[in-house]
Amino acid sequence: MGSTGSFKKIHRISKVIILDHQDCGAYASKFEIMPKDDLEAEQQIHTQYLNQAYQQVKQHHPELIVELYFMLLNGEARPVLPEA
């Protein structure tokens, strides 16, 4: 997260958007069991990891607005609400 600090200073960013997507090869190689035909189950896994990313950014930069999305192959970007 050290590099995020200097990046923020240079670019004055105030918002971070984290975008996962459906049918992700990186997730498929990381998890042996990735639901193939169950979109909601797939999104549920992404929601877990999007939330981890959310917590990590917030921990180091609580002032940043962080938005989470799960993007479908048809282009729809579903907002993912951070879990409390």
In the complex, which residues of this chain contact Zn ion (CB under 5 A)?
24, 26
Measured from the CB atom, is 29 or 59 closer to Zn ion? 29
Reduced to 3 states, what is the DSSP secondary structure of residue 73? Answer: coil
Q: Checking DSSP bridges between strand 65-71 and strand 77-80, what pairing results, if any?
A: antiparallel
Measured from the CB atom, is 19 or 81 closer to Zn ion? 19
The DSSP letter of residue 83 is P
Measured from the CB atom, is 26 or 33 closer to Zn ion? 26
Write down the least CB distance from residue 22 to Zn ion, Å.
9
> Using CB atoms, what's the residue nearest to Zn ion?
24
> Which distant-in-sequence residues (6+ apart) come within 8 Å of 42 by Cβ?
22, 34, 35
Write down the least CB distance from residue 25 to Zn ion, Å.
5
Residue 18 token pair? 């984290």
